[in-house]
């Protein structure tokens, strides 16, 4: 019988999360590299926001923890606003 460290599964999950983040960041970077050079800070912030939305959308599609995080943020916002 082979000995396994108790945290072995946790380490594997961390590598998968890193892999998912690299995929999402790569797609976001590709999208941001396609747009023309920006000279105003407002347009830079807008396109960076678009890139982050793309990144979170990809993570939402492939990662369970991101789905949980986004749902909990939405539920917290609803409860603070009294929408429930």
pLDDT-above-70 percentage for the chain: 82
Report the pLDDT value the prediction gives residue 3, as an integer from 0 to 100.
Answer: 55
CB count in 10 Å sphere of residue 42: 8
Collapsing DSSP states into helix, strand and coil, what is residue 25? Answer: helix
25 domain residue, yes or no: yes
Phi, psi dihedral angles at 77 (to 5 degrees): -60, -40
Q: When comparing pLDDT for 31 and 45, which is higher? A: 45
Which structural domain range is residue 21 located in? 8-81
Report the pLDDT value the prediction gives residue 10, as an integer from 0 to 100.
Answer: 54
Number of domains making up the chain: 1
46 domain residue, yes or no: yes
How far is residue 67 CA from its own chain's centroid?
9
Collapsing DSSP states into helix, strand and coil, what is residue 64? Answer: helix
1 domain residue, yes or no: no
């Amino acid at each position: 019988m082979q000995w396994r460290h108790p945290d072995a599964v946790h380490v594997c999950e961390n590598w998968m999360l890193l892999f998912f983040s690299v995929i999402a960041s790569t797609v976001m970077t590709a999208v941001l590299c396609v747009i023309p050079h920006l000279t105003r800070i407002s347009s830079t912030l807008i396109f960076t926001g678009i890139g982050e939305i793309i990144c979170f959308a990809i993570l939402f599609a492939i990662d369970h923890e991101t789905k949980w995080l986004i749902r909990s943020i939405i539920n917290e916002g609803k409860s603070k606003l009294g929408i429930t």
